[in-house]
Amino acid sequence: MARSRAIRDVPPLPAHAVLVRALFEVYPDGRDYDRDALVADVTYNFDEFGYFGLSLWLVGAVWTLDRLMAKKVARAYRVGLYSAGDLDSHDLRLVASGREPHYDATDGAVITGDSGSVRITAGSATELVDRFLDTPYTVEQNPHFVQNIR
Write out the residues near other proteins by the rule CB under 8 A. 3-6, 21-26, 37, 40-41, 44-45, 47-48, 55-57, 73, 75-78, 98-99, 102, 148-150
Measured from the CB atom, is 75 or 119 closer to other proteins? 75
Interacting residues of 119 by C-beta distance below 8 A, sequence separation 6+? 110, 111, 113
Measured from the CB atom, is 6 or 114 closer to other proteins? 6
**Phi first, then psi: what are they for 102, rounded to 5°?**
-80, 140
Q: How far is CA 84 from CA 6, 65, 89, 120, in A?
A: 21, 15, 9, 18
Measured from the CB atom, is 114 or 149 closer to other proteins? 149
Residue 6's CB is within 10 A of a number of other CB atoms, namely 10
Q: How far is the CB of 137 from other proteins (least distance, A)?
A: 14
Measured from the CB atom, is 7 or 13 closer to other proteins? 7
Task: Report which secondary-structure segment, H or E, holds 100.
Answer: none
Q: How far is the CB of 25 from other proteins (least distance, A)?
A: 3
Q: How far is the CB of 45 from other proteins (least distance, A)?
A: 7
Over its C-alpha atoms, the chain yields an Rg (Å, rounded) of: 15
Q: How far is the CB of 21 from other proteins (least distance, A)?
A: 6
Measured from the CB atom, is 27 or 122 closer to other proteins? 27
Of the candidates 122, 124, 121, 103, which has an alpha carbon nearest to the alpha carbon of residue 112?
A: 121
Q: How far is the CB of 50 from other proteins (least distance, A)?
A: 13
Q: Report how far residue 106's alpha carbon sits from residue 13's, in angstroms, rounded to the nearest whole number.
A: 14
